[in-house]
Structure 1
Amino acid sequence: MKAVLVAAAVMAGGVSAGHVGNVANHWKAHEEFKAAKRGGYFENETCVPTCTTIYSVITGSPGLYTPPTPPSTYALSTPSSPPSPASSTPAVVPTPIPHTCPTPGTYTFPATTVVVTESTTVYAASTTEVPSGTYTIGGITTVVETPTTIVVPYATTKTETEVVTTVVETTTYVCPTPGTYTIAPFTTTVTVSETVVVVPVITSYAPGTYTAPAVVTTVTETDVVVYCPFSTPTPTAYAAAPPAASPAAAGHPKPHKAKPTPHAATSAPSSSYPGTSPSLGGSAGDHWAITYTPYTESGQCKSAGQVAQDLRLVKNAGFTTVRVYSTDCNTLPNVGAAARAVGLKMILGIFIGEVGCDNGSPHVADQLAAIKQWRQWDLVELIVVGNESIFNKFCSVSQLRDLIVHVKTTLAQVGYTGPYTTTDVVSAWLDYDVKPICEVIDVVGTNAHAYFNAATEPQNAGEFVAGQLRIVENVCNKPGYVLESGWPSAGKCFGKACAGRSQQAAAIASIKKSVGKKVVFFSFGDDHWKAPGDCQCEQHWGCGSLFGV
């Protein structure tokens, strides 16, 4: 049976906005070059056939415990002959629901709700694409503080008559010293150039109501299986991380400046949210983070040495965090290594630079695969899915919401437990019904550039940015952060907002004073590889020198 994994809901219809400026065009050029080099990336993409049956449901508190001795397997029933036009396995726990689509056509899958009344541990299966090599995967990882003996359940796979199933077994394990132990992993060898490996996963769900939203999808092949995931509350995965293949580099993400917004700071209500995330924002001083893209003036990729030199300057200027937009140009290994060396944290991004943001898009899938492989979570303060993707009409609200859920579910399986958000201009948060997005993010993000508000003079930029932040905090009733804010050193005037070096200095000083602890300043350096744009300003947002960079 041919299986297609849809790890976020695929909604009918979509948006059809054109590419916006040099941001999307530069991305598209890189994608087209990559497609040609790989021999038709978009036309010849294939899905490796898999068929996985989920076994065993055990209830109880997640973590280390001694379960009753189980039989060799607990099986969830699967229909032997699926009815037409589509069939599904009944959901008894909030694991993705497989729907079988026997023939091409448009299928509608109704919303499904599962109520979990007590902590539930599910033994399921995950897949990961890997190149040839030998991998140790599966098992369960635990940390012990004293020498002890533990009895743990673990998931493993068995193959009978070419059917791969997941079974539950237990083992008694002696931990002779304090430390981290991975219990009962298994080794597999991949001999072909690239394949999909099934990895046992042990996932625990807290009590709560889980909903798989209604999905409408068009299928063009026969015997396709569509998986519809459940949303909030988000499950926590305890399994050992599976291996991941090295993805091809995504195209350059190009941060795009927002157009002028009519929402003035004076109209912003006060935030009613009771607190903020303790792990985000500047704990001292008046600046927290700055955006960083590892490109030379001509738009080529910087070397690891150049990146390391840049991040030393960022650290010496008093910043604690850098925000990156994507994974291209070896961003994760190079920026990650440099950040670790100097003691900086990172805000990671999954960049959407074209219309359509479902999780199957190549430029999205490549970025997610790169993050899964890198997974240095101790460096990560926040993950941002999409940058002004609603404003640019690259995503609908439902598409972006589903992509965020997919990213959260995928990265939970490899150990990430930190916060998520998306970021957009204030007009996007106000002009659309964004409640579905608010429900799946941990903090709310906005890009707020006072330069594009004709009524704001540079010395009042901080007041404007603070007002924009209060607006989006109240939209979602969650703590908010400004993930881009700056002022250009050259460009046109918009009413009272004029670009220039002295104006930039005054604006940055105002933003630092008003809201610097919750702002990611834009940006480390000028971006000479960009087109000037209508504002004649796109190349001139570098403000690092004002911090001593």
Structure 2
Amino acid sequence: MKAVAVAAVLAAGASAHRNHHRHAHNDLFEKRGHNESEICVPGCTTVWSTITGAATLYTPPPPPPATATAWPTGPAVVPTPAALVCPTPGTYTFPATTLTVTETTTVCAASTTELPKGTHTLGGVTTVVETETTVVCPYATTKTEGGVVTSVIETTTYVCPSAGTYTIAPITTTVTVDVTTVVVPVVTTYCPGTYTAPAVTTVVETATVVFCPFESATPAPAPSAPAPAPSSPAWSNPSPPASPPKGPAPGGLGSSDGKWAMTYTPYDSTGHCKTPSAVLEDVKKIAGAGFKTLRVYSTDCDTLTSVGPAARECGLNLIIGIFIGNKACNNNSPDVAHQIDAIKAWAQWDLVKLVVVANEALFNGFCSVGQLRDLIVHTKSELGGAGYSGPYTTTDVVSAWVEKDVQPICDVIDVVACNAHAYFNPNTPPSQAGQFVAGQLSIVEKRCGKEGYIMETGWPTAGVCHGVACPGESQQAEAISSIQSAIGSKAVFFSATNDPWKQPGDCGCERSWGCSKVFGF
């Protein structure tokens, strides 16, 4: 076997998950941020610029003797496949080892492949676009300086001239012997957790290098203090799926059949408000599919006075919300006051199972922890005085819960909640979406020490691929089935219909989260 020395070069990521401004409405309900160009990234929560620091060659310690009893040690801090040197013929035994990753880290890792003689195109970033689009992509490549080959992450701007599938910045290599093994640099993200490489025994006849991969074992526990890097992505390593609850939780939250709730917004295909009769037709279909609850985000479009009667007629409950946009996170905000007044005037508390104060306001920087805590207390006072006695929460992405000192918020909510979309994790295929979402909820529950619920989860039918997470109708059906099985009885599915009034967004997916076809309505 031949081996090529490859460097693991770190790249810095900046959060790109923030809300758009909706056409004809307040800034709510979008899934990811926007830029002048599309951004093709391993997961939409990271924006790439360039590598940090000089490319360096990883130099392992002196090779172990035959019948080795220890792994090499070195500067590696992520579980990239370990290069184990076998310098002479013999039997080599490498015991199992573990490595703990404390922060989400992206590196230029290595993937090996055997190639015959000839010229080959390898690697690159594959993206799917629906129209002419300019994308900015991180890609892994190699550089040779002074005879030393290193792997680096760089960015490139690429114009996709029309709809189609494009492979950006691949590597071309020429093999001059009959067959050889080459190492291809790959952009790889490692999430917090403990990784294990199993014991390996191998017999070699010539000097060689053996690559032993790590496998993720357990997710990292939620930190007890804010994470030091505020730009860390919102990914976490999936943990085993939680067992679905046997029945509804106290207060009527959750269900026993994986069809608890669906998000709903009363906008037509152009982004304008639907008529009450059109809302009723939608709600009838959702109820007919077996759902028990609708989640609404705000009071705009006369949501409560149109969705409320439809929910009552169809026997559905409501999760209602107060939406917080930019510069509106305070008790004196006219927008907040208007929403609270509208809810108090409507006051059909028998329909309401949960009040959600703000949607991803921490992550987007709309609220500080103190502001959101005060707003929740204020809302509880206002609605409690008007007759509501049910539970309250706020919902955010997992990174917001683990990167900030959220205890003041935990103290004033009744249940904890998060939005979790496995599609944005490049290591999660549709078949494992449920495992990922359940793992996200487990992290948040431990953060606050309270019962938790997923306020948004789903899978798009259109957009770009992020690693093994690709959109599509069959992929959506597979992902939703996985989520239903793992955590559906505590999850709100996003969303009832597609939203053609939105911009496609960085991931090309914003319009395509409607899952009515999966549920048969």
Q: Is it true that 1:388 corresponds to 2:387 in the alignment?
A: no
Q: Deviations over 1:304-362 (max 9, x none)?
A: 00000111001110000000000011100110000001100000000012134001111
Residue identity in the other structure for 2:419: N
Distance 1:24 1:439 in 2: 32
- The residue correspondences of 1:233-312 to structure 2 (distance < 5 A) are 261-266=234-239, 277-312=249-284
Which residue of structure 1 lines up, in the alignment, with residue 21 of structure 2?
23
- Could you tell me which of 406, 409, 432 is aligned with 1:460? 432
- Per-residue CA deviation, residues 258-293 of structure 1 (Å, 9 max, x unaligned), is 996331113x8989x9x9842244433121000000
Matching of residues 413-492 of structure 1 within 5 Å: 413-492=385-464
Map 1:23-42 → 2, pairs under 5 A: 23=21, 27=25
Instruction: Report the counterpart of residue 311 of structure 2 in structure 1.
Output: 339
Residue type at the aligned position of 2:378: H
* CA apart distance, 1:19: 11
Provide the residue aligned with 2:382 in structure 1: 410
> In the alignment, which of 492, 503, 506 is matched to residue 531 of structure 1?
503
| Conserved? CA contact 2:421–2:456, under 8 Å | yes
Distance 1:282 1:438, change over 3 A: closer
Q: For residues 377-397 of structure 1, give each alpha carbon's deviation from its aligned partner in whole angstroms, at most 9, with x where no partner exists.
A: 000000000000000000000
User: Cα–Cα, structure 1 residues 18 and 426, in superposed 2: closer, same or farther, change >3 Å?
Assistant: closer
Distance 2:300 2:496 in 1: 17
Distance 1:325 1:28, change over 3 A: closer
Letter aligned with residue 235 of structure 2: P
Q: Report the CA distance between 1:515 and its aligned residue.
A: 0.6
**Stretches of 4+ aligned residues off by more than 2 angstroms:** 17-30, 258-262, 268-271, 279-284
Specify the code of the residue in structure 2 equivalent to 1:365.
Answer: A
The residue type equivalent to 2:504 in the other structure is P
Letter in 2 for 1:380: V
Instruction: Please tell me whether the aligned partners of residues 21 and 533 of structure 1 are also in contact (alpha carbons under 8 angstroms).
Output: no
> Which residue does 2:518 correspond to in 1?
546
Q: Is the 8 A contact 1:483 1:520 kept in 2?
A: yes
Give yes or no for contact 1:19–1:25 (8 Å, CA) kept in 2: no
Say which SS state the counterpart of residue 306 (structure 1) adopts: helix
User: One-letter code of the match for 1:293?
Assistant: T
Residues 322 and 357 in structure 2, CA contact (< 8 A), matched pair in contact too: yes
The 1:281/1:29 distance shift into structure 2, 3 A limit, reads closer
The separation in 1 between residues aligned to 2:267 and 2:480, in whole angstroms, is 23
Q: Does the 8 A contact of 2:328 with 2:336 survive in 1? A: no
Residue 351 in structure 1 maps to residue 349 in structure 2: no
Q: How does 1:349-388 map to 2 (within 5 A)?
A: 349-388=321-360
Q: Is the 8 A contact 2:259 2:291 kept in 1?
A: yes
- SS of 2:301's equivalent in the other structure is coil
TM-score, normalisation: structure 1: 0.53
Kindly state the Cα deviation for residue 372 of structure 1 after the two structures are TM-superposed: 0.6
**Whole-Å Cα distance in 2 between the matches of residues 259 and 515 of structure 1?**
25
Q: CA deviation at 1:542?
A: 0.3
Structure 1 residues 502 and 259: alpha-carbon distance in aligned structure 2, compared to 1, 3 A threshold:
farther
AA in 1 matched with 2:362: I
Q: CA RMSD in A?
A: 2.6
Q: Secondary structure at the match of 1:348?
A: strand
Once the 2 structures are TM-superposed, how far is the Cα of residue 458 of structure 1 from its aligned partner? 0.4
Shift of 1:464: 0.3
| Match of residue 495, structure 1, among 455, 467, 475 | 467
| Partner Cα distance (2:27, 2:420) in 1 | 28
Provide the residue aligned with 2:289 in structure 1. Answer: 317
For the Cα contact (< 8 Å) 2:268–2:274, is it kept in 1? yes
Amino acid in the other structure paired with 1:22: H
* Alpha-carbon distance in structure 1 between the residues aligned to 2:410 and 2:456: 19
Give the Cα–Cα distance (whole angstroms) in 1 for the partners of residues 23 and 370 of structure 2: 25
Q: For residues 140-151 of structure 1, what are the structure 2 equivalents within 5 Å? A: none
**Partner amino acid, structure 1, of 2:363:** F
In structure 1, runs of 5+ residues without a counterpart are 1-16, 31-257
Compared CA separation, residues 19 and 276, structure 1 to 2 (3 A): closer
Structure 2 equivalent of residue 48 of structure 1: none
Q: Which amino acid aligns with 1:507?
A: A
Aligned partner of 2:371 among 392, 399, 404 = 399
Cα distance in 1, alignment partners of residues 16 and 478 from structure 2: 36
Residues 259, 501 of structure 1: alpha-carbon distance in 2 compared, 3 angstrom cutoff:
farther
Q: CA deviation at 1:536?
A: 0.3
Taking every aligned residue pair, what percent have the same amino acid on both sides?
56
Q: How far apart are the structure 2 equivalents of 1:443 and 1:333?
A: 26
SS in 2 for 1:329: helix
What secondary structure, in the 3-state scheme, does the structure 1 residue paired with 2:454 have?
strand
Whether the aligned pair in 2 keeps the contact of 1:261 and 1:452 (CA below 8 Å) is no
Cα contact 2:423–2:459 (8 A) shared by 1: yes
Q: Per the alignment, do residues 400 and 24 of structure 1 end up closer, same or farther by CA in structure 2, a change over 3 Å counting?
A: farther
The answer as to whether partners of 2:241 and 2:434 remain within 8 angstroms in 1 is no
Q: C-alpha distance in 2, partners of 1:322/1:539?
A: 20
- Cα deviation digits, residues 394-419 of structure 1 (max 9, x gap): 00000000000000001111110000
State the secondary structure of the residue aligned to 1:386: strand
Q: Which amino acid aligns with 1:366?
A: H
One-letter amino acid of the counterpart of residue 390, structure 2:
G
Per-residue CA deviations over 1:81-121 (Å, capped at 9, x if unaligned) read xxxxxxxxxxxxxxxxxxxxxxxxxxxxxxxxxxxxxxxxx
Structure 2 counterpart of 1:461, one-letter code: A
CA shift in 2, pair 1:389/1:358, >3 Å:
same
Aligned partners of 1:464, 1:450: CA distance in 2, in Å?
A: 6
The question of whether the paired residues in 2 share the 8 Å contact of 1:530 and 1:538 is answered with yes
Q: What is the letter of the counterpart of residue 354 of structure 1?
A: N
